[in-house]
Homo-oligomer: A and B are copies of this chain.
Amino acid sequence: MIKFASVNGEIVPAEGASIGVTDLGLLRGYGMFDFLLILNGQPLFVEDYLDRFWRSAHQLKLKVPLDRDQLMAHIQQLIEANGLDNASMRLVLTGGYASDGYSPSEKANLIIIEHEYPTYTPDKYEKGIKLLLHEYQRQFPTIKTTNYVVGILMQEELQKAGADDLLFHHGGLITETTRANFFIVLPGDRIVTAGDGILEGITRKHTLMLARKHYQVEERQPALEELKTATEAFITSSTKRVMPVVQVSDVVIGNGQPGPVSKHLLELLKEAEAAYLKNDVRVS
């Protein structure tokens, strides 16, 4: 059980942590968030996540109620209060309280929650996962808004199809999954992934930095028909790292097995994580 959460800068028991019912995130979906891993009690790549958090806030015209140093210190305080070596952390920022149910307040609401550390059975990495194509374009692709209605509504269909997530496409081009970035590997080990019209994942960023040292990388939305010629496919996300994809709807990718490029990138990413953690970014 997670013991504590944070609401507007105060650490409170997670059990009763609550937000008033006139919150605009609740009433109007006017909210955004970010989500990162805590490893060995340290927030992984936290600078990148905070950069994106401020970027999303700016795009939604919201003001983060703490400055960056305060937020970093507060995150560390919550990690210490909960005392979990490994966990994940969600930072949510909403339009604040609106007595008329519509107009954003000057004062945004900031909620920080820790979740259990997300684990995936090893066979997901050994066997790879399946995605289900779904025609959809996120409304504000570059902002990490709280709108996940499509993904949640389609969970039954995913289960029926034995698929792990939806893969969004629009106009014949592939963008991203519900909660991850998507990559294909074309013959000659050319890695292709959408460069715009997506949420720019932090794991995507680190994976691309590593990939460029070893492979040719093309940032453009892959065409649907390229799935048939891809030798590999994979997704990246904070919790899944580099997860091989072996099937997209009816299309089997490559030989239907996780391929060497995605395995290599997962290794490189784990090394990068370990190197980051050795530098210990704890706020003193």
With A21-B7, A152-B95 in contact, do A147 and B29 touch (Cβ < 8 Å)? Answer: yes
- A33 at the B interface (CB under 8 A): yes
Q: Does A17 contact B (CB under 8 A)?
A: yes
Specify which chain B residues have a CB less than 8 angstroms from the CB of A149 in the assembled complex: 28-30, 60, 139-140, 145, 147
Q: Which size class do A's interface residues fall under? A: 35 or more
Knowing A23-B26, A27-B33, A92-B27 are in contact, say whether A153-B101 is a contact too (CB < 8 A).
no
The reply to whether the CB of A240 lies closer than 8 angstroms to some CB of chain B is no
Contact A150 B146 (CB under 8 A): no
A194 and B243 CA atoms in complex are apart in Å by: 44
Given A148-B102, A155-B103: A21 and B5 within 8 A (CB)? Answer: yes
Are B146 and A29 within 8 A (Cβ)?
A: yes
- Whether A21 contacts B113 by the Cβ 8 Å rule is yes
CA distance A94 to B148 in the complex (A): 13
Among B92, B101, B150, the residue within 8 A (CB) of A113 is B101
- Whether, in the assembled complex, A111 has its beta carbon less than 8 Å from a beta carbon of chain B, the answer is yes
Q: Is A229 an interface residue (CB 8 A)?
A: no
* Contact (Cβ within 8 A) A28 B147: yes
CB distance B111 to A29 under 8 Å?
A: no
Given A21-B19, A28-B152, A30-B152 in contact, is the A100-B115 Cβ separation under 8 Å?
A: yes
Instruction: Collect the chain B residues with CB atoms within 8 Å of residue A95's CB.
Output: 152
Residues of chain A having any CB pair with chain B under 8 Å = 5, 7, 16-31, 33, 60-61, 90, 92, 94-95, 99-104, 111, 113, 115-116, 139-140, 145-150, 152-153, 155-156
- A sample of 8 more A-B contacts (CB under 8 A), given A25-B25, A139-B150, is A17-B21, A18-B20, A19-B21, A21-B111, A26-B94, A29-B147, A60-B149, A103-B155
A-B contact pairs, 10 of them (CB 8 A): A5-B21, A19-B19, A27-B146, A29-B29, A29-B148, A95-B152, A103-B152, A104-B152, A104-B155, A139-B147
Return the 4 tightest CB-CB contacts between A and B, nearest first: A18-B18, A29-B29, A29-B147, A28-B148
